[in-house]
Amino acid sequence: MKKINGMKNGRSLAEDLGLIRRGLREFDRILPRQLAYVAGKSVLGVFCPYVAVIAMAGILGELTGGRSREKLLLYAGLSVLLTFFLTILKNILEARISVGYSDLFAAHEIHLTDKAYDLPYEMLESEEVRSLRDQVSGSISVSGAGMASLYWDMEAICSGLSTALTALLLCICYGARLSGGLLAGILVFAFGCAWISCRMTSRRWDVSYRVFEQGAAYQRYGDYYTMNYLPDENLGMDTRIFRQKQLVLEESRKRCYEPFARGKRKEMRADSLYGSVKLLCTGLCGLAVYGLTAAQTLQGRVPIGEILVLYSAVTSLIFSLSNIAETFTDLRNNNIHLIHYFAYMDLPAEKPDQAQQNGYGQMPLPMTAGELRQTAKSVQEIRFEHVSFSYPGSEEEVLRDISLTIHGGEKLAIVGVNGSGKTTLIKLLCRLYRPTRGRILLNGRDIQAYPQEDYWQLLSTVFQDFALFAFSLGANVAAAHGYDRQRAETALRRAGLGEKLAGLPRGLDQALFTDYEPDGTELSGGEAQKAAIARALYKNGPVLILDEPTAALDPYAEAAIYEMLFQRQEPVQQGRILISISHRLSTCRFCDRIAVLQQGRLVQVGTHRQLVGEESGAYRQLWQAQAEYYT
């Protein structure tokens, strides 16, 4: 890994240490107390083996010296008891660590998901933000980097430091009888070997890091195509009819697996080379211990048991220092993943309980509790005032100077070709986007003045892309576990799922899909869309927004839905504003007015009769383009 003037990957040692400290604090938020368990287990893991080594040294000393039966029993008894209790404590900590480790990946993703929910919606659609989220998720799920690597590395660091300090203490204690500067010579030689070993280990870890950086992405893409794309039942028709299997496998092998395999071979060669140097240093150091102390042992100055402890301590010191160097190198390399993680977590979150700046750069006065209660009862007017919108980072306006008033109880259709800005306009109304210029008023107040959660309570929506979950049908409709069952049944019947509900063995309690329950029911595309409509009807907000609500329905079901929503005077639509987007212009005849968008501009507003009578108008052209295939 490239180093310049003590820097690694363009970061100083102080910067890397700061990142590691912040990462540890963040890890403790994700999994509280886990690092304490890891540290405790690491220390115990060091002491347990030395209990037996020290006891053996005492026993050997007695066997070659005084041969006291009492001391022999004492050494043996203490060794057994201490090992027993330390092992029990270590096993308890290992069990807690194991549970924590099994929770780590899920807790990490939940942490990221909580952050995603707090982000402004327009950020979720940003390619840069999505890519950053993929980097953070992929680093831990594919390679165990990021927070996972921090977890494992801290265990290795704690273990290495405990081993090194214990080994150094034993060297000093059990080398005290050595004459002259013999102990100092052994320690200098040991630290020299350890330094060489550390350098080799650090280089080997840098090779591993480069392999990961260059190959893990390819591995991830290859796994997606071969493990997800090919077996996917929804894509199975294309893969079979177009005979895509061989193409996908060959491309995955050539572009993904072979480059990664070359990198892994390079990593294994480096591991073999640097590992051999490490073993050679350890062997030379052990040979030096025996060679330098042999004469004094034969002369009876130093018991043989103490020499065994000294040899064990010196070799442990070399291995522990090498492991610390290896782990610290990995920690510094891992910081790039922590940088990505914190870049994502530091993205500005929305403040749903506060007013937001509008498109004029103004901060509207917040709503009072009384104003919120009054608005929740009825919406008298929605007004767009010179609203324009550009996506973050882009200067191109996808909506330009939109001015439109929608009155209480009105049914409005919004039409236009693909890309004209219909869905963008709806997302602005839903406060998923914020106007670049202009503002949107509800009952005369800027919608940015409403606390976000309170504002969303006013809206019932059916988007083109909706989600149903593998929960009960009732929970999907009510978006909650505790709900009004009669109200949910009514919503399902109005949406055209009455017969489906009656045929379900457990009614509202029937699970959707078979993800969690083998007897879950599968919904067709049309039935799923009806369930989404039922969810909007159940919420019964004063503003009902439908974005292509019947795209998956057959003509009979579509006619029934539109008759219920637009023609019957049912409570679901009385006094409510209803906004509909549809490419099927026949549905526009049910609406009071039609707004026509073209290239981000509002070019026409009027009734169906008025607009179809304007010969050069955009609406008439759209109407005739569809009508000619039915006549």
Regarding predicted confidence, which is higher, 336 or 242? 336
Query: Can you tell me the distance from the alpha carbon of 492 to that of 478, in angstroms, rounded to the nearest whole number?
Result: 11
Q: Which of 413, 394, 343 is nearest to 122 (CA)?
A: 394
Give pLDDT tens digits for 588-600: 888 899 999 999 9
Distance CA 496, CA 513 (A): 19
- Mean confidence (pLDDT) of the chain: 79
Tokens matching residue 608 = 């169906």
Do residues 532 and 561 lie in contact, with contact meaning Cβ atoms separated by under 8 Å? no
pLDDT higher than threshold 50 for residue 4? no
Distances from the Cα of 446 to the Cα of 350, 353, 398, 437, angstroms: 17, 15, 21, 13
Residue 1: band (very low, low, confident or very high) from pLDDT cuts 50, 70, 90: very low
Contacts 24+ apart (CB under 8 A), 64-73: 64/303, 64/304, 64/305, 65/303
Radius of gyration of the chain, Cα coordinates, nearest whole angstrom: 35
Helix (H) or strand (E) holding 57: helix 34-63
Which residue ranges form the domains of the chain, and what is each CATH number? 13-345 (1.20.1560.10)
- Which of 81-90, 227-236, 286-295 is modeled with the greatest confidence? 81-90
- Of the segments 99-108, 242-251, 492-501, which one has the largest average pLDDT value? 492-501
For range 317-338, the mean pLDDT:
81
- pLDDT tens-digit map of 433-457: 999 999 999 988 899 888 888 888 8
pLDDT at position 602 is 96
Distance CA 429, CA 399 (A): 13
Q: Mean of the pLDDT values across residues 518-534?
A: 89
* Predicted local distance difference test score (pLDDT) of residue 314: 75
pLDDT at residue 240 greater than cutoff 80: no
Q: Alpha helices, DSSP H only, in 388-524? A: 422-429, 452-456, 473-478, 485-494, 498-502
pLDDT computed for residue 472 by the predictor: 93
Place 631 in a pLDDT band, splitting at 50, 70 and 90: low
The pair of three-digit structure tokens given for residue 543, joined into one six-digit string = 């503003």
pTM assigned to the model: 0.72
Phi–psi pair at 315, nearest 5 degrees: -65, -35
Tokens standing for residue 336: 């790039």
Reply yes or no on whether the pLDDT at 327 is more than 70: yes
Per DSSP, the three-state class of 462 is: strand
* Better-predicted residue by pLDDT, 231 or 562: 562
Q: How confident is the model at residue 376 (pLDDT cuts 50, 70, 90)?
A: low
